[in-house]
A and B are shown apart, each in its own frame.
Chain A
Amino acid sequence: MTSYHDTPLLKPPVWTWEIPLYFFVGGAGGAAAVLAAAARAGGAEDSVVRDARWIAAAGATLSAPLLISDLGRPERFLNMLRVFKPQSPMSVGAWTLAAFGGLSAAAAVAGARPSRATLPVRLAADVAGLGSASAGLVMATYTGVLVGVSAIPVWKTHVRLLPVHFGASSLGAASSILELRGHRHFALNALALGAAVFETAAAVALETGDDRASRPLRAGRSGMMTRVASALSGPVPLALRLLGARRGAAASAILGSVLTRFAWVEAGKASANDVQAAL
């Protein structure tokens, strides 16, 4: 095929490790906020709700420094809130993270001691928790939109899969973190199981495709990372859960969720260098 001296057409993503780690931390935190609200609505023990809220707040708190340190000009991070642009997934994400940070922290702090809290404090925790869960739903899925809406062949080819894939990965990770914290709740196992089933199906779909744009998911360093991430997110936790090894399944799903984000960013870098896929 023809190209200009086989030189890449596109520029690879400039993002370093902070960004894929943020995709994991922000996503898991977002899903944890949803779990907290659902646990509260379903009448689960206060300890599940409280821990899920703290995980959400921790995710939001870690997200900001990760994002800021990856900027070329970190001191200008507030420019992210200079305008709101619905057509820019990164603008939507910046505003969502700002809202999520405040609401998840409020929910965690106000709900810290539910047994001793007065009614207004409990109410404040629940209202903040609902807001945090709404923002959390965006946090868990929008990073898939962020990379999918781009000129990078491997990302845009999977623009429909990515938000669901990252969402499932976030849900599996949040449930697993709560399980590793010691909560053995039916809902956490069921949700993590559902995420593992979806991730297994996604892995099969990615592995069996044969389009040029998706080659970085199956070849080279990024292909290796994708395969390990897929195994750790899908079939391994699925099998361990069915065997009753919930802690092992949880650890695998969390590792897989982190690696999934690194694999996709690495695949994006490889894809930008594939001039044939871009032309």
Chain B
Amino acid sequence: MTQRTTGFFTDSTLCIGCKACEVACKEWNDVPADGFSFSGKSYDNTLALGHSTWRHVKFVEGEAVPGAGGNLPDFMTWQFSSDVCKHCDNAGCLESCPTGSIIRTEFGGVYIQPDICNGCGYCVVNCPFGVVDRRPTDGRAFKCTFCYDRQKAGETPACAKACPTQSILFGDLEELERAADARIATLHAAGMTDAKIWNPKNSSVGGTHAFFLIRGDERQYNLPANPEVPTVLLAPAWTSAAAAAGVILGGALLAFAFGAKRPSVKPAPLHS
């Protein structure tokens, strides 16, 4: 039986920053606490996704817009956006994983099999979005599982289930993409012309299964405009390595061929 390809559509214009998604994710997946720390940055002490933060609500602060939504002229605007593993079509973590622990599930998600991962750390430097990380107290790499266990049972992932405003929508990927286009049309018609979809389909990442409706510059959400999957670097890297290997081999053969005619000094024996 072929399974449907599922996705997350996270609409930041509907997010109220309640962090219920973060809590639901932690509860369901038994993710440990990530410490009590004060960042001093907006209402966000977590700041980024990580080995023990698989959903993360960003508090993006913008210019004051008097009149919009009842804002006072001396208060900045807030945009909230619940971030998550992008579940890339061309996933750097999956390609780089040397053990085969990271797999593509039947739902199209990218999943780390915890019984296989040996904590080599290579996926950490191969994720262009800084999502996956090694948990020091455990030794293995962790990130959003796309609630693989819940999906297998026909359930909605915990974050989407808990979201009180339907900012996080879960469902068939193609249907979600159509819903996102319709939502953008509605928002643009209502005058919110800076609303746009972030889904890097035209990059080497080739589109993501978790995509976002954001406003304005994606970089203020720490979303790169032109992400790159590291596998595109394989060809130049190995070409370079082959050239280097050729020069090293050729040089060594030449040097010893020439050196055969010249006098050389042998070392003293180790034991005399």
Contact = CB atoms under 8 A, between A and B. Distances in A.
Interface of A: 1-5, 7-15, 31, 34-35, 37-39, 41-45, 47-48, 51, 70-74, 76-77, 79-80, 82-83, 85, 87-91, 93-94, 133, 137-138, 140-142, 144-152, 155-156, 159-164, 167-168, 170-171, 181-188, 190-191, 194, 268, 272, 275, 278-279
A8 B233 contact: no
Interface in B105-138: 116-122, 124-135, 138
A182 B264 CA distance: 10
B92 interface: yes
- Place the interface of chain B in its size category: 35 or more
A85 B98 contact: yes
A34 B253 CA distance: 9
B252 A34 contact: yes
A187 B222 contact: no
A272 B237 CA distance: 20
Given A83-B99, A190-B259, A7 B41 contact: yes
B50 interface: yes
B77 interface: no
A137 B249 contact: yes
A163 B237 contact: yes
A82 B116 contact: yes
Given A149-B234, A185-B265, 4 more contacts: A9-B48, A14-B133, A45-B264, A76-B119
Contacts of B128: 10, 151
Interface stretch (B67-75, B187-195, B224-232): B224-232
Interface stretch (B10-18, B161-169, B238-246): B238-246
Contacts of A187: 252, 255-256, 258-259
Interface of B: 39, 41-42, 44, 47-48, 50, 58, 60, 92, 95-101, 116-122, 124-135, 138-141, 217, 219-222, 224-225, 228, 230-231, 233-234, 236-241, 243-245, 247-249, 251-253, 255-260, 262, 264-268
A181 B267 contact: yes
Contact of A44 (B129, B230, B259): B259
Given A38-B255, A141-B244, A159-B233, A88 B222 contact: no
A4 B96 CA distance: 27
Contacts of A77: 118
Given A149-B231, A194-B251, A164 B244 contact: yes
B258 A11 contact: no
Nearest to A42: B256
B170 to A, nearest CB: 24
A185 B264 contact: yes
B241 A72 contact: no
A87 B95 contact: yes
Contacts of B255: 38, 42, 186-188, 190-191
9 interchain residue pairs of minimum CB distance: A72-B119, A182-B267, A42-B256, A72-B139, A187-B255, A38-B252, A76-B118, A186-B259, A167-B244
B130 A10 contact: yes
A47 B234 CA distance: 39
A34 B233 contact: no
Given A151-B92, A187-B256, A51 B98 contact: no
Contact of B233 (A14, A47, A156): A156
Given A88-B97, A137-B245, A190-B255, A9 B119 contact: no
B119 A150 contact: no
